[in-house]
Amino acid sequence: MRTCQCPSDFWEVLPRMYLVAKHGQLRKIKQCLVESHDMSACDEDSCSLLASVSITNHLEVVRFLCRFPQLHCNVTD
C-alpha cells in the first residue's frame, strides 16, 4: 500500500484536523481537538473526516472519533 502523496500546498487547502486524521495520527488528532479544530472537516471532494479515516483503515482513529457526538457522520455535498 502506498502512502498518501499530498500536494505541497495541502496545509492551505485542507483543514489540519482532516489531514492528521487521514494519516492516522491519533496524538495530533487529540491536539487538534484541544485547539478546537473543526470535526466536520471535509476534503475538496466532500469526503468527511470519518469517511477518510475509514477508507485509510485507521480503526483506532475511527473508534476514537466516534466518541464525539458533534462529529458529522452523514455529510452530503
* Domain count of the fold of the chain: 1
| 48 inside domain | yes
What is the spatial distance between Cα 44 and Cα 60, in angstroms, rounded to a whole number? Answer: 24
Q: Which CATH number goes with the domain that contains 19?
A: 1.25.40.20
The per-residue pLDDT for range 17-39, each reduced to its tens digit, is 888 888 899 999 888 888 887 77
Taking the chain, what is the end-to-end CA distance rounded to the nearest angstrom?
A: 28
On the CB side of 77, CA atoms within 13 Å amount to: 8
The per-residue pLDDT for range 27-75, each reduced to its tens digit, is 998 888 888 877 777 777 777 788 888 888 999 999 998 888 777 666 5
| 3 inside domain | no
| 49 inside domain | yes
Residue whose cell numbers read 502512502: 3
pTM assigned to the model:
0.68
| 19 inside domain | yes
| 74 inside domain | no
Range of the structural domain that residue 25 is part of:
13-65
| 29 inside domain | yes
Backbone angles phi and psi of 48, in degrees to 5: -70, 165
| 75 inside domain | no
